[in-house]
Structure 1
Amino acid sequence: MTTQHRESGGAVLQLQAVSRVHGRGAAEVHALRGIDLQVRAGEFVAVMGPSGSGKSTLLTLAGGLDRASSGEVVIEGRPLGGLSQGAVAAVRRRAIGYVFQDFNLIPALTALENVGIPRELDGVPARRARAEALAALDELGIAELGERFPDEMSGGQQQRVAIARSLIGDRRLVLADEPTGALDSTTGETVLGVLRARCDAGAAAVMVTHEARHAAWVDRVVLLRDGRLVEETVGGGARR
């Protein structure tokens, strides 16, 4: 897909003057300060910056897991600020795939069940959800893990199951917090290739990473420092 085609997509995610403040008074911490960011369909964006710069906070706000102190988060034209918690959860379940640093797999469920559960919660029949889950696992090269439980997998295998869960169904926005952190370099490149392919097919993705080499896969690199967006550069993916 050409750069021009990628950039022609509509905005999937918009952060409009978004700030997040934790605590009050002397304990007040400004995690994000007036962030403006737009990610369009087809774009793969990396968020980088030192520890404590607000990277993970940006993802949790973008994913509707927390609310902004001021400003607005908009998903496919729908502002999250005025929605109930239940309505935000529905948007998150249907439109957003989220890869957590700590995987967040349910211990009592197999890999197939962990990956398929978002679809079942949306009312998709169990047989179809299972088929979609198996396809997602296969895309990550781990279809053979389908019947294993999380405690029967390595950290890297759990990471890939979590990524498969984030990709199942028609997820228009994928948010990934250090998605290759538990993976060896070869497997990490495979995962980045899968995320890149999803963007080339029309999704939008935002990835928090500390690995500068990952810039080769993305369209833009956004640099945060002290809760502010201080720089944007073109990634290698935009030159494909």
Structure 2
Amino acid sequence: MSGPNTQVVLRLEGVGRMHGSGAAEVSALHEVDLTVHAGEFLAVMGPSGSGKSTLLALAGGLDRPTAGRVLVEGVPLDGLSRRRLADVRRRSVGYVFQDYNLIPALTAAENIALPRELDGASTRTARQEALAALAELGIGELADRFPDGMSGGQQQRVAIARALIGERRLVLADEPTGALDSATGEAVLGVLRARCDTGAAAVMVTHDPAHAAWADRVVFLRDGRITDQSVQQRIEVAR
């Protein structure tokens, strides 16, 4: 981080997630405590099945813990109605899915603008913001293209642009560079780093140590538990 910041954007308190029941019960996460501050870029690493994607889903309110609680900007997600939870996810949390989750019937710009329109922004304002997000990721020419006319890497960058639009304070990214070549992946990481520098918090799941090097802190998961974490020298974004 560029300097100390005590404002907590995300907090997990004793969070656990069980799947199944009885003899088939499996612990995906177990007693996880985690705090992420404004301006912080956190990387989460660990082997397959360690609970990384489960942690992101709980942090973003896409799933509910079976133990403990999750707070986003001080708001406990477990106490919210389905409608209020959807409002928090739309306004406060940007989520980059591994499978992109773009709406096939909408263009790139329309996919990106949709959350802002649902929040009450005018169509014109939402489109302008969407175009700016596309330009930031170097894909402004895709604005009016539909998902089935894009490569996997292009869809990935559109999904990242959708997660960054608006004033969202928490960005959650599940392997955001997985479909990208190394140069484009580095550019995307620079965009995430720059967003943290403006006061957002980002949590990124990655298997690549070179990508984790962009983060301020790396947390390691194994068998649903945090086994280690390290604070590291940050990479400066070229300006």
Question: Normalization by structure 2: what TM-score?
Answer: 0.97
User: 1:85 and 1:35 mapped to 2: Cα distance?
Assistant: 24
**Partner of residue 162 from structure 1, selected from 143, 159, 162:** 159
**Partner of residue 190 from structure 1, selected from 187, 190, 197:** 187
Secondary structure class of the residue paired with 1:237: coil
CA RMSD for the aligned pairs? 1.2
Aligned partner of 2:168 in structure 1 is 171
Alpha-carbon shift at residue 9 of structure 1 (Å): 3.9
Aligned partner of 1:224 in structure 2 is 221
Aligned partner of 1:90 in structure 2 is 87
Aligned partner of 1:65 in structure 2 is 62
User: Could you tell me whether the CA contact under 8 Å between 1:12 and 1:75 is conserved in 2?
Assistant: yes
Q: Give structure 1 stretches of 5+ with no counterpart.
A: none
1:209 pairs with 2:206: yes
Between the aligned residues of both structures, percent identity stands at: 70
Runs of 4+ in 1 over 6 A off after TM superposition: none
1:51 pairs with 2:70: no
User: 1:32 and 1:177 mapped to 2: Cα distance?
Assistant: 17
User: Could you tell me whether the CA contact under 8 Å between 1:32 and 1:57 is conserved in 2?
Assistant: yes
Secondary structure class of the residue paired with 1:181: coil
**Partner of residue 76 from structure 1, selected from 73, 83, 99:** 73
Alpha-carbon shift at residue 236 of structure 1 (Å): 3.1
**Partner of residue 131 from structure 1, selected from 128, 131, 153:** 128
Q: Give structure 2 stretches of 5+ with no counterpart.
A: none
Secondary structure class of the residue paired with 2:71: strand
Farther off after superposition, 45-54 or 212-221: 212-221
Secondary structure class of the residue paired with 2:125: helix
Secondary structure class of the residue paired with 2:135: helix
**Partner of residue 16 from structure 1, selected from 13, 17, 30:** 13
1:153 pairs with 2:150: yes
Alpha-carbon shift at residue 217 of structure 1 (Å): 0.7
User: 2:200 and 2:129 mapped to 1: Cα distance?
Assistant: 17
Alpha-carbon shift at residue 101 of structure 1 (Å): 0.1
**Partner deviation per Cα, 1:186-236 (whole Å, 9 max, x = no partner):** 000000000000001100000000001112210000000000001001233
Letter in 1 for 2:206: T
Letter in 1 for 2:98: Q
Letter in 2 for 1:116: A
User: Could you tell me whether the CA contact under 8 Å between 1:220 and 1:238 is conserved in 2?
Assistant: no
User: 1:137 and 1:116 mapped to 2: Cα distance?
Assistant: 11
1:42 pairs with 2:50: no
Alpha-carbon shift at residue 86 of structure 1 (Å): 1.1
User: Could you tell me whether the CA contact under 8 Å between 1:215 and 1:235 is conserved in 2?
Assistant: no
Secondary structure class of the residue paired with 1:47: strand
Letter in 2 for 1:213: A
Q: For this pair of structures, how many residues does the alignment match?
A: 237
User: 2:209 and 2:115 mapped to 1: Cα distance?
Assistant: 32
User: 1:84 and 1:16 mapped to 2: Cα distance?
Assistant: 20
1:26 pairs with 2:4: no
